[in-house]
Amino acid sequence: MPPSSSPGAPARPPEPSPGCLRAWWSAIRPKTLTISFVPVFVGSAVAWAETQTLLWLPALLAFCAAVLIQIGTNLHNDVSDFERGADTPARLGPPRATAMGWLPAATVRRAAWLCFALAFNFGVFLAWHGGWPIVVIGLASLVAGWAYTGGPRPIAYSPFGEAFVLAFFGLAAVGGSYYLQARTLSAAAALAAVMVGLLAAAVITVNNHRDRETDARAGRRTLAVLLGRRGTEVLFAVEMLLPFAFLPVLGGLAGRGAGSLLPVVVLPLALVLIGRFRREAPGPRLNALLARTAGLQFLFGLLLGVALVA
């Protein structure tokens, strides 16, 4: 999930080149990759809870395709924002490889398209296994990965960033993974998709809150810009707490009862993050909160999957 960037901020101290391998590691944004494979795990776990079967090969290939699309999206974001003039060494977020001059723009773009191509190849088998619904989800995901910061109206610069994440890292990813296993959809799968997608959207909300002031000066209309500070605080709290509120409902739909409440153990962490979000002013100090929000989504999805398969 690529965060947007923020021109017009005070320049950060120069950072030395980290070397080729570490530059590529930075460019793929490893802390965001969990957001791509958690939905595959959760969707497969819901299918197991309802059918008591698991098809390992489709699940594994869906995992690989999801991670490759995420890496391709991150790399495309890295070079696209740089070429638009949006990413500079003065950005509020973590340094970006292309903007810092660590990697050539053309090389990063080729790597992004290579990731998309590899994901497409995995998708060929998934489409053969799952039929036209998987074709639609796969092609839409590839196009969305490009459109997030590409094209004439990038999604990242609009009020629809959170909706995009909810749709593709929740509904499409969880629903598609479930469909690969069960060849149908269920209310439990749809609810689990919303829960996972909301927590993924919270990561984008932190990113856009961090950049709210500079985005507003640059003419970007993210949801954080439109809602203002108080409205964005409410949005973040809703995204973080609703998945926990839905746990009993999911347990009933999936036939797991009280066992589905296992993710409640990370609710205190969610409350801590909500409090920190309210206290911190927009700026670079929110980078750590962004990483911890992504970590919460990972822990919630891991515990939810374990609760469903146990």
For residue range 60-96, list pLDDT tens digits in order. Answer: 999 999 999 999 989 988 887 777 665 555 556 677 7
CATH fit for domain 30-309, picks 1.10.600, 1.20.272, 1.10.3120, 1.10.8? 1.10.600
| Those residues with Cβ within 8 angstroms of residue 25's Cβ, 6 or more apart along the chain or in another chain | none
Within 10 angstroms of residue 85's Cβ, the number of other Cβ atoms is: 11
Tell me what the mean pLDDT of segment 30-40 comes to.
90
The mean pLDDT of the chain is 87
The whole-model pTM stands at 0.87
Within 10 angstroms of residue 136's Cβ, the number of other Cβ atoms is: 13
User: What is the residue extent of each domain of the chain?
Assistant: 30-309
Find the helix or strand (DSSP H, E) in which 13 lies.
Answer: none
Evaluated on CA atoms 156, 3, 138, 302, the torsion sign reads negative
Within 10 angstroms of residue 299's Cβ, the number of other Cβ atoms is: 17
